[in-house]
Amino acid sequence: MTPNPRSSRFITFEGIEGSGKTTQIQMLSNHLEEREIDHVLTREPGGTPIGDQIRRLVLDPGNADMTPICDLLLYAAARAQHIEQVIRPALEAGRLVLCDRFKDATFAYQGYGRGIRLDLIDALHDLETLALRPDLTLLFDIDASVALERARDRDSGGPRDETRFEQQDLDFHERVRSGYLEMARQEPARFVVLDARGRIEEVHRRVLHVIAKHLPVREARA
């Protein structure tokens, strides 16, 4: 089938830990599959074998002493591999790409959260290998205390091993949330802020409403 360039879109899902974005991006992917809409579902950090190895490293709670700059460069390395190996080829083929987190997460977590200068993160992403921006970003917004409780108790209704970021205190997660909202304020043409509260099906309907307005394929409508 000849790719349709108009259907080429790069859509990212963002939000703090426990916001429900990963559940929602999977539900959207299932929705598109049911309608036989070609797309790629991927995530960061990860998306490639190398990226998955870096993911294990940066999320390992045993690496609590990882410095912010080390953190930043590891995420950038995983992203460079991901863009080169997965995202750019898919977009160039005219495919829709859905990505669970992208560079906005770096600004939110390593910048607003861990205190790295935003202009340094910006300069890093000016490098050709990292200079890619989403067409649309869905930001799942929810109170940080509620989201953190979700994140720490989301597997089978019981506790699970926390990631390095879930171990951070509430102030950290509130800084991350504030950072996301500030980025959305600065780029209203790209960001859509969604209320992440409520039942999963309710949030899914909100997602479909946004996608129906932004994705130029009629079949994507609910």
pLDDT in tens, 77-100: 999 999 999 999 999 999 999 999
DSSP codes of every residue in 113-135? IT---HHHHHHHTTSGGG----S
| Band of pLDDT at residue 37, cut at 50, 70 and 90 | very high
pLDDT value at residue 148: 85
Mean pLDDT of the chain: 90
pLDDT value at residue 154: 62
Query: 207 pLDDT exceeds 70?
Result: yes
Query: 156 pLDDT exceeds 50?
Result: no
CATH of domain 5-217: 3.40.50.300
pLDDT value at residue 101: 98
Structural domain spans, the chain: 5-217
Rounded to two decimals, what is the model's pTM?
A: 0.90
pLDDT value at residue 6: 45
Query: 7 pLDDT exceeds 80?
Result: no
Kindly state the percentage of the chain with pLDDT values over 90: 80
Instruction: Work out the average pLDDT over 144-148.
Output: 91
Residues 106-141 pLDDT 10s: 999 999 999 999 999 999 999 999 999 999 999 999
